[in-house]
Amino acid sequence: MSQRNYLVNVEDLSLMDKREYNMRALAAGLERCEIKGIGNLHADIPGLEGIPSGNLSKRVQYIYDAIKGGKFPESIDQRGLVTGPARTDFVLPATALDTMVTAPLAVVGLPYSCFQGVPAPQLLNNRLVVFYGVSVNTVPLPVSWLIFRTGGALGNVEAMFDLQTQETRLEFDAYFSEPIVFDPQEVFAVQVIASIAIAAAAQVHVHNFLFGPAGQTVL
């Protein structure tokens, strides 16, 4: 399926627009949970089973309508991704600090992981993550592109977002045009390209929803 990768700044969105983006990301993650055997979405949302698995857009829309009406699946827990150090949703803890920051940006043009010094984290079994937006809290903006890869730091590019489009905005907080989903036990990478050598870490938070079986996501 084709990708449409661009950023939508929160300044351009109403509260209802933001809720829509959040709900669309939740629906995409929940649909993938059913495919990967996390929870029992067909039991939680009657009628979904009748929509063929190949009709992704219709299935996501059906889930969206259900959760918009207040029916969140009882078999699936949802929260934010935990990267480490003491608690983590990764096979190995990805960060020395319990926050998303890069390694020091020493060289312009090189990619840096958003999970400090770990270039290619791997999700635990029964963990699925959806990334739906990004904020950068380092001024001036020291990075130019945000890149998602499957298979690790040199893997295939899943999506790319031009961060430079946000340089003139009062607030660097934006939603993705489409959510990005990674599956349980998948090795992936979330990288930024350094545009300024600041020899310090950049605070790049990639907004996300983490999904797992109900009652099993306690760390």
pLDDT tens digits along 50-68: 999 889 999 999 999 999 9
The whole-angstrom distance between residue 205's C-alpha and the CA centroid of its chain comes to 10
Domains of the chain, each with CATH number or no CATH: 8-76 (no CATH), 77-213 (2.60.120)
Q: Flag whether pLDDT at 131 surpasses 90.
A: yes
How is residue 11 written in tokens? 């300044």
Burial class (CB in 10 A: 0-12, 13-18, 19+), 212: buried
123: nearest Cα among 3, 59, 217: 217
Confidence of residue 1 (pLDDT cuts 50, 70, 90): very low
Separation between Cα atoms, residue 61 and residue 31, nearest integer Å: 10
Give the Cα-Cα-Cα angle 8, 71, 182 (nearest 5 degrees): 50
What dihedral angle (degrees, nearest 10) is formed by the CA atoms of 9, 11, 17, 19?
90
pLDDT digits (tens, 9 = 90+) for 66-120: 999 998 999 999 999 988 777 788 887 656 667 788 989 999 999 999 998 789 9
Report the share of the chain in percent with pLDDT over 90: 78
**Residue 195: what are its φ and ψ, rounded to 5°?**
-110, -15
Q: How confident is the model at residue 170 (pLDDT cuts 50, 70, 90)?
A: confident
